[in-house]
Amino acid sequence: MPWSTILAWLAIYVVVWWITIFAILPIGVRSQDEAGEVVPGSDPGAPALPRLALKALITTAVSAVILAIIYVFRGYIDLL
Tell me the pLDDT tens digit for each residue of 3-55.
788 899 999 999 999 999 999 999 999 999 999 889 999 999 999 999 999 99
Q: What are phi and psi of 47, to 5 degrees?
A: -65, 140
Closest by alpha carbon to 63, among 30, 15, 28, 29?
15
Helices (H), 25-51: 32-35
Measured CA to CA, the distance from residue 42 to residue 8 in angstroms comes to 41
Q: How confident is the model at residue 75 (pLDDT cuts 50, 70, 90)?
A: low
**pLDDT value at position 78?**
60
Q: For helices 52-72 and 3-24, give the axis angle rounded to 10 degrees.
A: 130
User: Does the pLDDT value for residue 76 go beyond 90?
Assistant: no
Q: Residue 20 forms beta bridges with which residues?
A: none
**pLDDT value at position 62?**
97
The predicted model scores a pTM of 0.80
